Amino acid sequence: MRITFIKPNIGRLEHSLYVDEGRMEPLQLGVLAGLTPADIDCRLYDDRIERIPYDDPTDLVAITVEIYTARRAYEIAEEFRLRGVPVVMGGFHPTLVPDECLQHADAIVTGDAERIWHRVVADARRGQLRRTYRGDLGEPQAGGVLPRRDLFRGKGYLPITLMQFSRGCRFSCDFCAISVFFNRRNFVRRTHEVLEEIANQNRKLVFFVDDNFLSNHEAAKAFLRELVPLRIRWVSQASLDMTNDPELMRLLVDSGCLGNVIGFESLNPYNLQQMKKGPNFLVSSKRKPLRDGWDYYERAVQILRDHHLQTWAAFTLGHDHDTLASIRETSDFAVHHKFCFAAYNILMPYPNTPFYARLQSEGRLLYDGCWWLHPDYRFNYAAFVPRHMTPEALTEACWQCRRVWNSPASIFKRMWDFKTHLSSPVRLAAYLQYNPMYAREARKKQGMLFGLFRRAPGSRVPVRSFTVVDDARVSSRP
């Protein structure tokens, strides 16, 4: 039996295919292949860089689907299904929007694969796939399951090993797909299994792809103490409340942490309160958010710098208390603090989140509330009507933030921080290598269309039309 694993691309540039220069190993497909019985021939194709050989014989196609890749995933699935090959989809999108995915797949898996994938494979062998499999959430890769990293070879991924320490996050930010998927829970792997996985691969640079590496401070500390002797360097994603815990900060440094993606989201405490960004309130010693967000961030950023951490500051723009002026302030704040990288994400309504439900009830969703499938939706465009600006103005303001951030002058200016980027050759190399690359990627991706074809594949993709009228309200055409 052969299983073909597929990582779909987001879409295409206006006149050519889009090749993701910063592509990373598709860890979920490596884990799935690692869970697959050894007698099965596993193939992996990454639509971000290579053609998918639709006509090669295969018995099952397994596609990982995120909201940004859903449209393309459905196109790929249709090609295989036209050839009579069954398709199973799993990942965030099938979990959050199962009914939509079921229209394009023979079977879907919701939740984690670890405790259900063997059933799917056994049913596929017998030609008796069920429509829906519910994977229980729990300890990731339990029993020491190793991802099949051999399948990643030769595909030009960035030279950094992706790995999990934990999954999920205890916070409940209202826009986040993670808190819905994991229901605000966090699952930690056994320390010795992670250490064995590190030893089992040959890189010294690891990206722990955790949703919040520091969701559970005590578990993280216990792991980091054991990680210190391995002398690796690592990056991850974590929440700002880490700066309240001096022991944790020390362990981050001692264990080789170079920096984390941190969700600052907004400088406005009323926005933070509305979106329920719990960890950012906790950076205040008094835990009273409603004064000046800037004060809290100043202290936290100083602590990060004092530990030489190169922060990837992530912002979501378009909250109800945002104005064009506050977005400009956000841009100034990030440049002023010389963060290593910054993500100026337009706030996106992900289906099944409280934020999506609120916008829906207020009639503020654009693209008929289905932006990820809409033929006109473009990457980094606003998909809802903000309170204090038009959707177009929000799109433009976010693009301006990216333009300012990625300009050669900004990259040069931000480099001059002796506490972070200039504190060691490794840090400077990371700064200089990745800043120009992310700048190119930001330019390429801005305004990119989703999927490769403008027409819906078959008649199954629900394409709807929309217009934004002068008062920035939405009217839908049937």
By CB under 6 A, tell whether 397 contacts ligand B12.
no
Q: Which is nearer to ligand B12, 281 or 450 (CB)?
A: 450
Least Å distance, CB 162 to ligand B12, is 6
Among 10, 224, 301, 359, binds ligand B12 (CB under 6 A): 10
Identify the residue whose tokens are 């596993």: 42
Q: Nearest-CA neighbor of 241 among 272, 263, 267?
A: 263
Question: Which region among 11-19, 159-167, 381-389, 462-470 touches ligand B12 (by CB under 6 A)?
Answer: 159-167
Least Å distance, CB 94 to ligand B12, is 8
Least Å distance, CB 87 to ligand B12, is 9
Write the interaction track for ligand B12 spanning residues 40-79; mark x where CB under 6 A is met and - where it is not: ----------------------xxx-xxxx----------
Which tokens go with 91?
């990942």
Among 60, 178, 309, 385, binds ligand B12 (CB under 6 A): 178
Write the interaction track for ligand B12 spanning residues 75-114; mark x where CB under 6 A is met and - where it is not: -------------xxxxxx--x------------x--xxx
By CB under 6 A, tell whether 163 contacts ligand B12.
no
Least Å distance, CB 325 to ligand B12, is 24
Least Å distance, CB 113 to ligand B12, is 3
Among 234, 350, 399, 438, binds ligand B12 (CB under 6 A): 350
DSSP letter assigned to residue 136: P
DSSP letter assigned to residue 50: S
Least Å distance, CB 364 to ligand B12, is 19
Type of residue found at 120: V
By CB under 6 A, tell whether 31 contacts ligand B12.
yes
Q: Which is nearer to ligand B12, 14 or 471 (CB)?
A: 14
SS (H, E, C) 265-323: ECCCHHHHHHHCCHHHHCCCCCCCCCCCHHHHHHHHHHHHHHCCCCCEEEEEECCCCCC
Pairwise CA distance, residues 239 & 265, whole Å: 11
Q: Which is nearer to ligand B12, 41 or 298 (CB)?
A: 41
Q: Which is nearer to ligand B12, 25 or 241 (CB)?
A: 25
For residue 313, what are the β-bridge partners? Answer: 262, 342
Q: Which is nearer to ligand B12, 275 or 284 (CB)?
A: 275
Distances (CA, A) of 313 to 316, 352, 430, 465: 10, 26, 16, 35
Least Å distance, CB 420 to ligand B12, is 20
**CA 225 to the chain's CA centroid:** 27
Number of residues that bind ligand B12 (CB under 6 A): 38
Footprint of ligand B12 on residues 110-139 (CB under 6 A)? 112-114, 117
Least Å distance, CB 72 to ligand B12, is 9
Please give the backbone phi and psi of residue 265, each rounded to the nearest 5 degrees, phi first.
60, -60
As to burial, measured by CB atoms within 10 angstroms (0-12 exposed, 13-18 middle, 19+ buried), residue 158 is: middle
Least Å distance, CB 148 to ligand B12, is 12
Distances (CA, A) of 125 to 59, 72, 196: 8, 27, 32
Question: Which region among 162-170, 323-331, 361-369, 425-433 touches ligand B12 (by CB under 6 A)?
Answer: 162-170
Q: For residue 461, what are the contacts with CB-CB under 8 A and spacing of at least 6?
A: 71, 74, 104, 373
By CB under 6 A, tell whether 315 contacts ligand B12.
no
**CA 345 to the chain's CA centroid:** 11
Least Å distance, CB 68 to ligand B12, is 4
Q: Do 335 and 410 contact (CB within 8 A), yes or no?
A: yes
Least Å distance, CB 48 to ligand B12, is 7
By CB under 6 A, tell whether 11 contacts ligand B12.
no
Footprint of ligand B12 on residues 202-261 (CB under 6 A)? 209, 211
> Which helix (H) or strand (E) is 75 found in, with range?
helix 70-82
Q: Is the dihedral of CA 375, 380, 384, 389 positive or negative?
A: negative
Give me the DSSP letters along 188-224.
E--HHHHHHHHHTS--SEEEE--S-TTSSHHHHHHHH
Residue nearest to ligand B12 (CB): 90
As separate numbers, helices (DSSP H) first and strands (DSSP E) second, the chain gives: 17, 18
Give me the DSSP letters along 82-116.
HTT--EEEESHHHHHSHHHHHTT-SEEEEE-STTT
Least Å distance, CB 18 to ligand B12, is 10
Q: Nearest-CA neighbor of 325 among 267, 408, 272, 366?
A: 267
Question: Which region among 17-25, 249-257, 381-389, 411-419 touches ligand B12 (by CB under 6 A)?
Answer: 17-25
List residues binding ligand B12 (CB under 6 A): 10, 23-28, 31-32, 62-64, 66-69, 88-93, 96, 109, 112-114, 117, 162, 164, 167, 176-178, 209, 211, 345, 350
